[in-house]
């Protein structure tokens, strides 16, 4: 299959592959710049990024903002010809502040999910010269319709959508019942494209749909492109790379994992998620609680009074390799990973397999 470039807004890349934004230090400038240098879109994740500073607990929001801008700038410097995005969750308590920070840093694309990013165009209006593309992350055709209608009133057509299916890792936009039924991503893609047709016709421009969740091989990419996707987003496969910004022990969790270790969890933020089972999650499942005060106030939907543990602390510990005090989010195919390779090796493998199909 011939590989066509991916165009989002004013930005174009050689390969239709976006590295998924993985929060709390898993995808920073190191990973994002490596993917961008290889012809894909590299993404810095905003969630919890301030923990890299020693003063995070004292000035959480300022630390998050400073580190996001620093990592975007660093990634752009390390991949001057590449395209760099930022993943900023709507559910973050400092969402609008982080969006403004990404725009100030002149990030190429903002990807935004975990809620409907209805205010993104209005925030971009504060930066009239900005060339930043705005791409919502959704899990349903209905969400695409709602966003298009709202953004239309603001005079903005989405530069694309990432359609995240039920096989993705991390927090998921489906109920546990829906996840058990596992709606087909191909059906969701067709329905989403149909929903977008009238908006595309009225605007006189295409709204590309990028598929995420369960995409593992070049053959998977080819199948999604043939079904009408313009590109794919992949997170899990980029964890087990040398350039991934997480600790080596975090990466080794993916190599250790067996199929039965990939489980759904109920996150303290009120959303289901997919993660790799370990001793920490087994203790949570037994009803054990890890007492904590809440220094971060990171997610709007989290209630520290009822949460069995602090998800920020758990994910920070995991990123630092302390898996006995945390856990790793992962996609449904994480158990298939058996070694750590470079980003270049991974991209080469994907492209070769894609071209064979």
245-284 per-position pLDDT tens digit = 999 999 999 999 999 999 999 887 777 899 999 999 999 8
Q: What is the mean pLDDT of residues 316-332?
A: 96
Q: What is the mean pLDDT of residues 207-219?
A: 97
Of all residues in the chain, the percent with pLDDT exceeding 90 is 78
Residue 9 has pLDDT above 90, yes or no: yes
Reduce the DSSP state of residue 80 to 3 states and report it.
Answer: coil
The number of helices, as runs of H, and strands, as runs of E, in the chain is 13, 13
On the CB side of 296, CA atoms within 13 Å amount to 26
Domains of the chain: 6-246+338-356 (3.20.20.70), 248-325 (no CATH)
- 276 bridge partner residues: 262
The 10s digit of each residue's pLDDT in 137-184 is 999 999 999 999 999 999 999 999 999 999 999 888 887 777 776 778
* Alpha-helical segments (H) within 79-166: 95-104, 120-124, 141-153
Residues 6+ apart with CB under 8 A from 7: 208, 230
Taken in order 96, 97, 103, 108, the sign of the CA dihedral is negative
CB 221 within 8 A of CB 232: yes
Long-range (24+ apart) CB contacts under 8 A made by 218-223 are 218/349, 218/350, 218/351, 218/352, 218/353, 218/354, 218/355, 218/356, 218/357, 219/353, 219/354, 219/357, 221/16, 221/17, 221/350, 221/353, 221/354, 222/1, 222/353, 222/354, 222/357, 223/357
CB 196 within 8 A of CB 209: yes
Cα–Cα distance measured from residue 280 to residue 323, given in angstroms and rounded to the nearest whole number: 7
Strand ordering across the sheet containing 262-266: 170-171, 272-276, 262-266
| 301: its two tokens | 């939907």
CA proximity to 17, closest of 47, 39, 44: 39
CB 44 within 8 A of CB 24: no
The 10s digit of each residue's pLDDT in 13-60 is 999 999 999 999 999 999 999 999 999 999 999 998 999 988 887 888
Residue 348 has pLDDT above 90, yes or no: yes
CA proximity to 347, closest of 17, 85, 26, 31: 17
| Tokens 């596992």, residue located | 182
pLDDT at 89: 93
């Amino acid at each position: 299959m011939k590989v066509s470039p991916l165009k989002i807004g004013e930005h174009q890349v050689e390969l239709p592959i976006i590295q998924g934004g993985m929060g709390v230090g898993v995808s920073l400038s190191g990973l994002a710049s490596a993917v961008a240098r290889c012809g894909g879109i590299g993404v810095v994740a905003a969630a919890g990024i301030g923990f890299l500073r020693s003063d995070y607990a004292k000035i959480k929001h300022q630390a998050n903002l400073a580190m996001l801008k620093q990592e975007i700038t660093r990634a752009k410097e390390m991949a001057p010809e590449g395209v760099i995005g930022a993943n900023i969750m709507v559910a973050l308590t400092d969402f609008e502040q982080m969006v403004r920070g990404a725009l100030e840093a002149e990030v190429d694309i903002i990807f935004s999910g975990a809620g409907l990013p209805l205010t993104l165009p209005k925030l971009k209006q504060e930066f009239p010269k900005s060339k930043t593309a705005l791409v919502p992350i959704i899990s349903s055709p209905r969400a695409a319709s709602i966003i298009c209608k709202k953004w239309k009133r603001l005079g903005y057509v989405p530069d694309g959508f990432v359609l995240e299916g039920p096989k993705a890792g991390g927090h998921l936009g489906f109920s546990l019942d829906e996840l058990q039924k596992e709606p087909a991503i191909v059906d969701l893609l067709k329905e989403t494209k149909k929903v977008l047709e009238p908006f595309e016709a009225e605007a006189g421009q295409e709204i590309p749909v990028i598929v995420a969740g369960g995409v593992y091989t070049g053959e998977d990419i080819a199948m999604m492109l043939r079904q009408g996707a313009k590109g794919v987003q992949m997170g899990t496969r980029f964890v087990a790379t040398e350039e991934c910004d997480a600790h080596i022990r975090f990466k080794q969790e993916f190599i250790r994992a067996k199929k039965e270790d990939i489980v759904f969890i109920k996150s303290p933020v009120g959303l289901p998620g997919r993660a790799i089972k370990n001793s920490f999650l087994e203790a949570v499942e037994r009803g054990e609680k890890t007492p904590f005060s809440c220094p971060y106030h990171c997610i709007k939907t989290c209630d520290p009074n009822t949460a069995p543990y602090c998800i920020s602390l758990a994910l920070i510990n995991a990123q630092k390799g302390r898996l006995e005090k945390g856990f790793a989010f992962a996609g449904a195919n994480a158990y298939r990973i058996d070694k750590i390779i470079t980003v270049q090796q991974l991209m080469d493998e994907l492209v070769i397999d894609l071209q064979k199909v």
